[in-house]
Structure 1
């Protein structure tokens, strides 16, 4: 993987595609788009997607009861995750998953729902302020 420039704050920085079988999806998307894949440990239900030498998204095994309608997940990079989570709640949304460590060098993520219940991911490279 090659070094790339850092994305700007308040932009989408990651996406995930739901799939039925990760191995079959890797073969398909690798053939169609030339994507390569990276593992995040022992989890066979998830694969990172690399395009143009950069880690840009992921494939995840969708729950068996999920519809097959479009379901791309996106993550927005934020500078201050706790302030953003507070703003979500103040605006009538909810935090569905609080700050969670991803891995060394990859930062933290969280999940929110807007007032209508639609999901959105957040990510940050910044540690929580005390």
Structure 2
């Protein structure tokens, strides 16, 4: 499979919520950097765990646009979780065999990110976070 075929198949599987299919397009040494956890997920076992729980938590994942420069790809997507709509970008790096070997995820808005983190964290053995309003304006 070419790197484009791996990339397109991965995004199609994510949209179809097919974890097994998505994982087939990740390298054994995949590193996933998430906006909702400070420690990266490393290796296929961790990637399988996080993607399984993520896709069980999200109501939808819809790829919208791909931007590519050589082995670096930005996938722009929309995800939904309950009433929250997430605008996201994944910076994906394709290794020499075309498999995805790293992924850095960026999501917005913050309220939606925190809402997903609160649902996902306990499933992965992490603590849920919350937004705390401040009482006085920041100078």
- TM-score of the pair, normalised by structure 1: 0.28
Higher strand share: 1
Greater fraction of residues in helix? 2
